[in-house]
Amino acid sequence: MTNEPMPAPVAATAHVNAPAWAAPATTPAERRAQKAAAQRAKNTDRGPVFPDRVPWVAVAVFTVISFGAGWLVCLPLWLSGEGLAHPAFGVIAFALMFTPTLATLVVVFFVRRPPRVGRLLGLVPFRPSGRTWLFIALAFVVFTVLPFAAMLLGQAMGLIRLDFAGLSGAAAYVEQVDPTGTLDAQTFMLIGILSLPFATLFSSFAAFGEELGWRGWLLPALRPLGTVPALVLTGVIWGLWHSPIILLGYNYGLTDLVGVACMVVFCVLGGFVIGWMRLRSASVWPAVIAHGAVNTATAQFLFFIDESELPVTPWGTFLGWPGWILLTLCVVAIVVTGQLRKQPAPGLTLAESREG
């Protein structure tokens, strides 16, 4: 035995309990693997995104608040007798879109609070950023092209007549808003089309008010029912929520339950595609952009309609038969190609999710 000091035991065991993903990474592949391992650890610590069972009490509270607040916001339209002609309709419609947000905040903070609110609602994490941006771009392109394609189909079906050459519909509108003639129809349409990305971004601010509720909270809450039932039921609730303005003739010009039923059909089909984007990307942001694009493009492309078709009826547009047909084809394509089985965990690629 010697009198030399023994090595400190701490130094020999300093990293025994350190997780594997904490070791220094030297290559890009190792760094990606390390980030994935760290994200898996967070996901395990914070629990599953989807509940084991549908929280029916929370769903009921969410539905009652969103519907009740929606009718309350729209009450001036009904009490005044002016309906959609009410001078404050734009402000009221904007406020209406944030009633699902109000319901969401009440549910997540006072009824059933999750470990991480932002994670449950699909606000975070943004990683993998490439996938999130890809689906944001896809949402913009798909829901900008579909309303235009629906009008082409509507013309082919004999439901509407378009005027691309003379732009008579746009000219009639320009004449109303600019009787001095300083703006022509061609310039008006060119400005409108070029500004679509910016208009969609602006529209998405209001769409966020809805999507935080429908695809942010409600869809994940209903997910234990199965993907298809959750998507369909979310669409039904979304469609019925529009009743306060649909019953005044909004969108379909019908003031009865037939108009509400038409809106439910559109919301089930459109909500299926938007909801798939939300589940496939593990993020609510593509759903927000998709919703904003629908509102913007559907309105903008109406100016291609021939003047003789004014006032515009919805049946030959994205809201009517052509839109329903195209959306149905999208739904079939999503189901047939097995896309519904591809639902990655938050912050992980599909491959990384399967590895875990």
Of all residues in the chain, the percent with pLDDT exceeding 70 is 92
- Residues 165-181 have a mean pLDDT of 87
> Model's pTM, two decimal places?
0.89
Calculate the alpha carbon distances from 101 to 121, 217, 344 in Å.
11, 9, 25
Q: Regarding predicted confidence, which is higher, 10 or 41?
A: 41
Calculate the alpha carbon distances from 300 to 169, 238, 322 in Å.
11, 23, 17
Calculate the alpha carbon distances from 111 to 59, 62, 105 in Å.
10, 9, 9
Question: Residue 8's pLDDT is what?
Answer: 45
Question: Residue 23's pLDDT is what?
Answer: 59
Report the distance separating Cα 48 and Cα 294, nearest Å. Answer: 31
When pLDDT is cut at 50, 70 and 90, the band that residue 40 belongs to is confident
- Closest to 76 in 3D by CA, of 261, 277, 303, 244: 244
pLDDT (tens digit per residue) in 298-350: 999 999 999 999 888 999 999 999 999 999 999 999 999 999 999 998 888 88
Report the distance separating Cα 303 and Cα 309, nearest Å. Answer: 11
Omega before residue 322 within 30° of 0, cis: no
**Torsional sign, CA 229, 318, 315, 205:** positive
- Closest to 18 in 3D by CA, of 45, 37, 46: 37
pLDDT (tens digit per residue) in 134-166: 999 999 999 999 999 999 999 999 999 999 999
* Residue 39 pLDDT exceeds 80: no
Residue 323: HSE in the Cβ half-sphere, 13 Å Cα cutoff: 27
Query: Can you read off the two tokens belonging to residue 244?
Result: 């306060």
Question: Is residue 305 classed as helix, strand or coil in its secondary structure?
Answer: strand
